[in-house]
Amino acid sequence: MITGAAIAFVLFVIYISSYTVSEKEYVVLTQFGKPTATIQTAGFNWKRPGFLETVNRIERRYRTFTTRPIQLLLGDKNPIVLTCYVCWKVQEPLLFLQSLANTDIAVQKLEDMVNSQLGNSLGDFKLENIININPDNVKIELLEERILTSMNASAKEKYGITVSQIGIRRIAYPTIVADAVYNRMRSEREKEAMKFRAEGREEATKIMAGTDREVKELLAEAYKQSQLLKGEGDRKALETFSEAYGRDKEFFEFVQSMETYKEILDEKSTVVLSSDSDIFKYLSNPKGNNK
C-alpha cells in the first residue's frame, strides 16, 4: 500500500510539474501573473509544480476573421458599406499575452484597427475606383495594400501580431448610391453599345463599298469579254458571208432577201415598192432578175 501511494504521489508531482508544447502553439510561463519563460519549441518541458507556475498556451497558426459591416464615406462623399477579412497570427507571444491576453480581445482590437484605417484611406478614393467596367480605374487592391501596410506595423509593435492579408470581402451600397451606380453602369453600357454600333456601321459601309467595287469590276470584265466575243462573232460572220458570197452570189443574195422579207413582212403588212426595186425582184421574178 505504501509503495502504491508513493508511486501515485510521484506521478502526481510529475503531472503538475511538467507540460508538453505542441508544434501549433507557443507557451508562456507565468508566476503569479509575471512571465518567467517563453517556449517556442515543441516538446516536453518542466515547470514549478501546481499554481507556482502557470502554462499559458497561445495559438501560433494563421487565423482569419470577418469584420462587421461598416458604412463609411468615400472621397466624393458617396457612402459605402464594407466588410473585410483579416488573416493574422501571433509573432511575439509574450507581448501578445501582456497586451491582449486572449484571442477574443485580439480580434476586437484588429477589427477596430481595420475600420480606423478604412476611414482614413477611403477619403482618397471615389466611387468609380470601387466599381467600374474599366479594370484600370478600379483601385481596390491599392486600398487593401495601404490598409495592410499601415495596420501591420502598428499591430506588430503594440500586440506582437503579424497581419499577412487584408481584403474587402463584400461591398454594399445604400439605396441612393445603388441607384447612382446602376444609372452610371447603364450609361456606360449604352455608351459602349453606341460605340460598337458605330463601328459596325463603319465596317458595314466598308464591306458594301468593297462589294460594289467588286460588282462593277466583274460587270466591266464581263462586258469586255462579251464585246470581244461579239467582235469575234461578227468577224466570223463576215468571213462566212464573204465565203458564201464568193461561192454563189445569186443564192447568197436570195437568202439575204428572204431574211429581209421575214423581218419587214407579216400577214398584215402592206408594202409599196417600185417594180424595179432590188427587194421586190424575187417576188416578181422567181429567177431573181428584173428582166
**pLDDT at residue 64, rounded to an integer:** 93
| Domain final residue pick, 173, 192, 220 | 173
More confidently predicted of 278 and 79 = 79
Amino acid 131 reads: I
**Structure confidence by residue, pLDDT tens digits, 113-165:** 999 999 888 888 888 888 777 888 888 899 899 999 988 888 998 999 999 99
Residues 87, 126, single domain; the answer is yes
Residues 31, 51, single domain; the answer is yes
Three-class SS state of 80: strand
Residues 243, 257, single domain; the answer is no
| Domain final residue pick, 125, 150, 173 | 173
Quote the radius of gyration of the chain (alpha carbons, Å).
Answer: 53
Residue 290 confidence (pLDDT) above 50: no
**pLDDT at residue 178, rounded to an integer:** 63
How many domains does the chain divide into? 4
**Structure confidence by residue, pLDDT tens digits, 39-50:** 888 888 777 776
- Which residue's C-alpha cell is 484605417? 117
- Cα-based angle 230, 231, 235 (whole degrees, multiple of 5): 115
Residues 98, 48, single domain; the answer is no
Are the CB atoms for 70 and 167 separated by under 8 Å? no
**Structure confidence by residue, pLDDT tens digits, 216-271:** 888 888 888 888 888 888 788 777 767 766 666 666 666 667 677 666 666 666 66
Residue-averaged pLDDT of the chain: 81
Residues 74, 142, single domain; the answer is yes
Return the CATH number at 168.
3.30.479.30
60: which 3 cell numbers? 501560433
Residues 74, 114, single domain; the answer is yes
Give the pTM.
0.56
**Boundaries of domain holding 221:** 180-247
More confidently predicted of 287 and 175 = 175
Residues 53, 105, single domain; the answer is no
- Residue 32: pLDDT band (50, 70, 90) is confident
